[in-house]
Amino acid sequence: MDIYTWFERALRQEFDQVRLIKESSRGSVRVVRHKTTGRDFILRQFTGNPEVYQKLLDYTCPNLPTVYEVACQGDQNLVLEELIQGDTLGFLLQDALFTPEETRKIVIQVCRALWVLHSIGAVHRDVKPENIILRGSEAVLIDFDAARLHKPEHEMDTQILGTTGFAAPEQYGLSQSDLRTDIYSVGILINVMLTGEHPSKKLAEGKMGHIVDRCTHVNPQRRYKNVLRLMEAL
């Protein structure tokens, strides 16, 4: 019996579905509960490349959900991961903006999560308020369905993924995504947290505005070299 079939069977026998979070043509995200322990998990079922989830099996970081199991069959994937309790930045931004100090603290934690991803050669490619959960004082970056490993031999991405407004220009086929792609999205994130607007409409004031401007430069070589440099600037 292959690992995918075994895992699929184990899920049916050992877990109950609690609720469906989202569903699309690419897959679904559900909360499932272990029948014996009563513990809740996230179950992702998606079509695509699971390589980033597979790499994260070996890593733990307070700003990333723990990945417990990955099973694949062709391009079909099942991922069991930690359920992060809290509200997304997208939800919180519906009611109020963040102060510069709050933004700085949260974005530094997002950068720590990205540092782990970038250290294994992965690019998240979909950093946005809906993919960041505040768990108490901790910011946790979630959802690696659009993530991919950087392949230096490729000139451009094989699949265009990302969220309009947050995706860097190179994600639209101009060149290949790399770690500076995520830095672009973090720049947009900072601006939205502070102003509620895309920087093309309203740029944040002061030093934070200068950081946003550098993060979101069209030319990736003009952005911060890596997230450590961005964290230093913050």
Q: What is the CATH number of the domain that holds 216?
A: 1.10.510.10
Within-domain flag for 157: yes
Within-domain flag for 49: yes
102-122: average pLDDT: 97
Same domain for 97 and 73, yes or no, is no
Same domain for 182 and 73, yes or no, is no
Domain coverage including residue 109: 87-233
Same domain for 73 and 128, yes or no, is no
Q: If pLDDT is split at 50, 70 and 90, which confidence band does 154 have?
A: very low
Alpha-carbon distances of 132 from 35, 53, 140, 189, 222, rounded to whole Å: 28, 17, 5, 10, 26
User: pLDDT value at position 173?
Assistant: 57
Q: Which residues are catalytic?
A: 126
Same domain for 63 and 94, yes or no, is no
User: pLDDT value at position 31?
Assistant: 96
Instruction: Return the CATH number at 67.
Output: 3.30.200.20
User: pLDDT value at position 160?
Assistant: 40
Residue 151 has pLDDT above 80, yes or no: no
Within-domain flag for 4: no
The most confident of the ranges 42-46, 145-149, 166-170 is 42-46
Same domain for 115 and 207, yes or no, is yes
User: pLDDT value at position 26?
Assistant: 83
45-61: average pLDDT: 92
User: pLDDT value at position 223?
Assistant: 95
User: pLDDT value at position 171?
Assistant: 64
The tally of domains found in the chain comes to 2
49-66: average pLDDT: 94
Residue 175 has pLDDT above 60, yes or no: no
Same domain for 146 and 217, yes or no, is yes
198-214: average pLDDT: 96
